[in-house]
Structure 1
């Protein structure tokens, strides 16, 4: 049951003893309202009834805040949040209005029973709306798996109901669209949907061997904050140049485990084999032998030259790549001092 995670408003989970309390966590999400939703809400309020536009926004920010709180807990080694509380508020000023939701709870580690049979539960009743939602979900999943163009109308549903099983297809289509139609509406929608997936679901798929052939995935990793030191360390043996680009990616949180892998990355980069060489060469039949820096492409340079005229150094790295590595070293050093 290592993958199980519960969020409870109670201070304990029945039948699951708490092994360790880690600490209190809080998450706040703010989202703006636009003119149309404000008008729709006020129109409904004037005549009575429910304001679906506000309701939808509240549901979205509640889900986002809960996901962020859960991710914070996962990053510090928790598998449960107890004492969960949620508070909604509206912030107004300068003719602008925003919703804010604050969620909090205590992160802890609990012992889940091995004989949990929650997956054996079958519903004995289902509402019409839930049935319609499931039919619509299956229609979208089947359409994407059959390479149907992502409809703009499906985006909101997928943002609120991420479908992990279609991540490979979404990535494949996103790469294809970036190559042929980089500014198309579908390309933007695909990126938006992909960025909605939680880190632990997308990372194992996007850091694949095909990353070298799908450079567009790098944009997803950078824009989504999907930095993963362990995956980048492994990718150094597949494509060092792509791996170095990924060192610029970020993540919301860093752990001591991340730091350990980051140090291993630096150690590997510091011990890269030479792709070029420095050796004695003759400058013609009667020329004297001179030391020359010969790059991996066979170009000859003065031995003092750090980079060849073609742009690479003795290790086969460009100046841009060396700068990225140096910034990564500074980042790792600061992390080491803070987390150490």
Structure 2
């Protein structure tokens, strides 16, 4: 069976797909009680008539409920398919009552579609229709929330609606087209917390479930697009740097962002964009690395080392106290001599230290993958 883009199979493999990660065992139970006397008379012939039909319907319902539970667990764990599904139906009787219990177990996995030049594919039209309609509903709700957030205010109903949107996204993998509006809504919502530090960020888990379920490339592109616009406003972007909830969002997106998407963004990003958005994303360990990520790492490292970088500079406390800066050509300039320098493009030592952390992190990840894959 198929639940939108979550594949469910009783076999250990999926035709046309390659399993790239086994996430782990998942299970679920569902039960329903019914009156043995009311539904099953002593008349044996009736067992194969209406009463049997009622019983079959109940079994189908609790089977579907158990599978839905498995799908939710798979999505929450970062999977996009379920293999090895096993279902058992047990009858538990007590006096004149009977309870039916379904036990379902399977393995959550991540799969990628096998490709070839002459690949044949098909997609269910009903699925397309449902996903498009759900996307439109999500965008409409987000638009209503954003109209309040842009005015710098939010009410409990808006937060309730935002939580509902997150839940709909997390339970509907395959829905797309809402990413720009969703990221704008999240950023407007998070920005309010710089003025409401005492309020708990209770939507964090809901947002995390939604972001990790959505298409990682689409979410990443929308986030980087929004941050690129934001980076033109120095005051606004520096405020985000101190916002713990913004950094939490970066941590969530960083676990799924395709590194080739980040590389394309870096080509035109200014230093504010690099520091506030790109560096936090690159510092995260991804949930899983693809061969495309592996190929992108050397190019990202080359880009990071192409300016504002030197292999020989040692950052001392004295330099930090004097607010020394790094020039675009990699030379170190003391603050009092900065005006005399021919090169006025500089970054702070604090930013430079963050950049070094990113470089060392990526080098370690690359070396590990190179040795072990």
Give the TM-score normalised by structure 1.
0.57
Give the TM-score normalised by structure 2.
0.53
Alpha-carbon RMSD across the aligned residues, in angstroms, is 5.1
Matches within 5 A, 1:50-89: 56=65, 58-62=67-71, 65=74, 70=80, 85-87=84-86
Who is 1:227 aligned against? Answer: 257
| CA separation of 1:108 and 1:176: change in aligned 2, threshold 3 A | closer
The CA deviation at 1:176 is 1.0
Any unmatched runs of 5+ in structure 2? 37-54, 89-102, 147-157, 194-198, 231-236, 314-321, 327-332, 338-345
- Write the distance in 1 (CA, Å) between the matches of 2:303 and 2:20: 38
One of 99, 102, 105 as aligned partner of 2:107: 102
The CA deviation at 1:175 is 0.8
Query: Aligned to 2:285, what secondary structure does the other structure show?
Result: coil
The CA deviation at 1:46 is 7.2
Matches within 5 A, 1:6-155: 26-30=22-26, 44-45=32-33, 56=65, 58-62=67-71, 65=74, 70=80, 85-87=84-86, 100-102=105-107, 108-109=114-115, 111-113=118-120, 139-147=137-145, 149=158, 151=161, 152-153=163-164, 155=166
The CA deviation at 1:87 is 3.0
Query: Aligned to 1:165, what secondary structure does the other structure show?
Result: coil
Does the aligned pair in 2 maintain the 1:87–1:103 contact within 8 Å? no
The CA deviation at 1:191 is 4.5
One of 261, 266, 270 as aligned partner of 2:305: 270
Who is 2:296 aligned against? Answer: 261
Query: Aligned to 2:106, what secondary structure does the other structure show?
Result: strand
| CA separation of 1:179 and 1:8: change in aligned 2, threshold 3 A | same
Question: Does 1:168 find its partner at 2:185?
Answer: no
- Write the distance in 2 (CA, Å) between the matches of 1:56 and 1:137: 24
Does the aligned pair in 2 maintain the 1:226–1:251 contact within 8 Å? yes
- Write the distance in 2 (CA, Å) between the matches of 1:329 and 1:212: 30
Who is 1:243 aligned against? Answer: 278
- Write the distance in 1 (CA, Å) between the matches of 2:119 and 2:144: 39
Does the aligned pair in 2 maintain the 1:23–1:108 contact within 8 Å? no
Does the aligned pair in 2 maintain the 1:65–1:101 contact within 8 Å? no
Say how many residue pairs are matched: 268
The CA deviation at 1:246 is 1.8
Query: Aligned to 1:101, what secondary structure does the other structure show?
Result: strand
- Write the distance in 2 (CA, Å) between the matches of 1:55 and 1:158: 20
1:180-217 alpha-carbon deviations (Å, 9 max, x no partner): 14735556644443333132442332232535727566
The CA deviation at 1:330 is 1.5
The CA deviation at 1:174 is 0.9
